Amino acid sequence: MKYSVWILLTALLASCAQPERQEFNLPDKVTFNEHVAPIIHQNCSPCHRPNGGAPFQMITYRDVAKRAKMIRDVTADRYMPPWPADPHYQSFVGERFLSDRQIALLAKWVKDGREEGDGTTPEPPEFPDGSMFGKPDLVVRFQDSILIKGNNLDKFMVIKAPFELSKDTFIRLIEFVPGNRELVHHMNGHLINYDYDRKSDVFEGNHVVTDVDGSTMETYQLLSIAHNDGTFPTLTPSVSNYLPGVLPAIYPEGIGNYKVNRKAAFLLKNMHYGPSPTDAYDRSYFNVFYSDGPPKRPTKEWLLGTLGISEVTPTLVVPPNEVMRVETNFTVPQDVSLLTINPHMHLIGRSFKAWAVTPTGDTIPLISIPKWDFRWQYFYTFRNMLKIPKGSVIHAEGVYDNSNGNPNNPFDPPKTVVEPVNRDMKTTDEMFQFIITYLPYQAGDENIRLEPDSSLFKH
Ligand code: HEC
């Protein structure tokens, strides 16, 4: 609850510089039923509901009224809803942030005595527990339950979930369903396709390697990823990503569906479990929905930075009590359309920013995260495909804060934090990565909307 002290301070500061109420044209009487419920149901309930990932539910008048002051404070300083990207720099599908007026409405509701108001509370949206998309064609579960040790530490793991099909198939959508919703925090999943005759048993090897983030040779060996003859199967990156309250990426028909071979596995390279005071277990699963045929336009991925295609400069070694800035630059070899981006750092990251500069000198903003929070590693999908012309340079820069003023610093006193090369990655090591999902550009791409079509949902 370190945070509560912090919000108290910022709330005090905020009350000194309170914006003019009239500016927002607020109603004389703010009520739950008329004004507050719609804000909460849209922006908070997707996580603050039973099994939604957040610690308590916020659906009914009672739920919200009893935490009213805390809600006022966490919205005033924009701690909630969690959306680390600056919405004024670039806008993304499903972004969740409150307008200044909505924040002022919540504050006035608390000040005026949290009235429920006349009439009935608007219906909260429905949140089906298993799938958001109807009956899956295939369910792939973790081979076994994963033990999450009760030592109050964040944990990163690499997990393999193998499966076999009767024939090669195409996949339209993969939906990750967390088993233990309290502890599963984020997940980045890849698809492994084996050559049928070169892998006798897809289920052999460990199913989990603990305390690592991102795979290396050593983890691959423990998980027995290779074919019998030692060659590696093909890996389709980032087919499934999960964060509480976030829908899986669903691109328009024909884009980015995947071929899956008869022998295959999901490889969860970055599985993050939150801290637990007692031993706990998780057995999550994937709902898989088939598509009719091969993708017309398969997606591709660039991984910039740590273990990727572009160098991090200077080398990521952050001495104790220092703040350090690193960058990576990549020249785009052909006209491309960007779909989704994912900045990745660990605990002592402080900010992240990426943009492209075209050969004619125009700047295209990609993403700015002014206050990095390792707990909220979204995959950000652009509202429309974003064209980046050939020869543009993509710049990404990250700032790390290795002082003990950084509340997420895992070491007290601070220790030198390094970016390991080719060995298993610990949560307490650092990374600087920028993952980009793209397509080779086609005329008219910039007009293609990436917002999922609501008819996809079953209700
Ligand atoms: C994407 C999921 C998500 C959304 C959306 C979300 N929350 Fe949260 N919220 C969480 C999680 C997870 C926690 C617990 C971890 C933490 O405090 O960071 C939390 C914690 C909180 C807390 C407790 C903070 C503390 O210091 O203990 C409050 C209050 C809160 N949320 C209010 C809200 C409000 C109000 C909204 C909507 C305006 C909202 N949340 C939207 C996931 C979410």
Residue range 236-250, pLDDT digits in tens: 888 998 887 777 778
Assess whether 193 and 285 both reside in one domain: yes
Q: Is residue 178 part of a domain?
A: yes
Q: Is residue 273 part of a domain?
A: yes
Residue nearest to atom 36 of ligand 1 (CA): 44
Cα–Cα distance for residue pair 165/173, rounded to 1 Å? 16
CB 412 within 8 A of CB 403: no
- Rounded-to-integer distance, Cα 430 and Cα 372, Å: 13
Which region, left, alpha or beta, applies to residue 312 given φ > 0 means left and ψ of -120 to 50 means alpha? beta
- My answer on whether 288 and 390 are in the same domain is no
CATH number at residue 432: 2.60.120.230
- The verdict on 260 and 189 lying in the same domain is yes
Residue 305, domain extent: 301-452
Overall number of domains in the chain: 3
For residue 189, what are the CA distances in angstroms to 59, 233, 270, 271? 31, 16, 7, 8
Residue 365 lies in a domain: yes
251 C-alpha to ligand 1 centroid (Å)? 28
Last residue of a domain, one of 271, 297, 323: 297
Asked if residue 123 is part of any domain, the answer here is: no
- Of 255, 270, 297, the residue that ends a domain is 297
* DSSP tally for the chain: helices H, then strands E: 6, 21
Residues 77, 148 share a domain: no
- Verify that 389 and 333 share a domain, yes or no: yes
CATH code, 290: 2.60.120
Say which residue, 69 or 46, is predicted with more confidence.
69
Q: pTM of this prediction?
A: 0.83
**DSSP reduced 3-state for 15:** helix
With tokens 């994937």, the residue in question is: 286
Q: Is residue 375 domain-shared with residue 255, that is, in the same domain?
A: no
Ligand 1 centroid distance, CA of 376 (Å) = 12
pLDDT tens for 307-366 read 899 999 999 999 999 999 999 999 999 999 999 999 999 889 999 999 999 999 999 999
Q: What would the pLDDT profile of 7-48 be if each residue is shown by its tens digit? A: 444 444 444 444 445 578 899 999 999 999 999 999 999 889
Residues 309 and 438 in one domain: yes
Q: Of 229, 263, 297, which residue constitutes the final position of a domain?
A: 297
Residues lining ligand 1, CB < 6 A?
3-4, 43-44, 46-48, 53-55, 67, 70-71, 74-75, 80-82, 96, 98, 244-245
